[in-house]
């Protein structure tokens, strides 16, 4: 019976040692995974920031192009520009200012 207990005891100690080694490997894998996830998050933030910066640059470029186009059109057709601005002003005044709406204040 002693031999059986010795073998069982040795097997249990070996199993516990194997379990401890496996647990240490799992801990190392989790540390590595945590580092990988942190790196992935940082990469995602960098990519999003770069995308936002690019969109802002594109919007700025389009805004400048629109302003240059408008300036060119006004310079080419000054009378039409003044007439258009007057007409838009009249329409907005009628819509929001009450001109011609029959309201009395």
Please state, in angstroms and as integers, the Cα–Cα distance from residue 59 to each residue in 31, 71, 74, following that order: 42, 18, 22
Distance of alpha carbon 25 from alpha carbon 89, whole angstroms:
75
What is the number of domains present in the chain?
A: 1
The pLDDT tens digits for 40-63 are 778 888 888 898 999 999 999 999
Phi-psi region of 62 (alpha: psi -120 to 50; beta: other; left: phi over 0): alpha
In a domain, 103, yes or no: no
In a domain, 69, yes or no: yes
Predicted TM-score (pTM) of the model is: 0.43
Which has the higher per-residue pLDDT, 26 or 15? 26
Residues 6+ apart with CB under 8 A from 61: none
Which residues form the domain of 10? Answer: 2-97
């Amino acid at each position: 019976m002693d031999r059986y207990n010795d073998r069982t005891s040795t097997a249990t100690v070996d199993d516990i040692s194997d379990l401890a080694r496996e647990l240490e490997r799992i801990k190392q894998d989790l540390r590595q995974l945590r580092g990988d996830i942190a790196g992935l998050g940082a990469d995602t933030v960098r990519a999003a920031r770069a995308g936002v910066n690019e969109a802002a640059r594109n919007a700025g470029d389009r805004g400048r192009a629109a302003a240059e186009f408008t300036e060119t059109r006004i310079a080419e057709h000054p009378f039409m520009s003044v007439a258009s601005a007057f007409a838009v002003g009249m329409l907005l005044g009628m819509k929001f200012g009450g001109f011609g709406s029959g309201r009395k204040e």
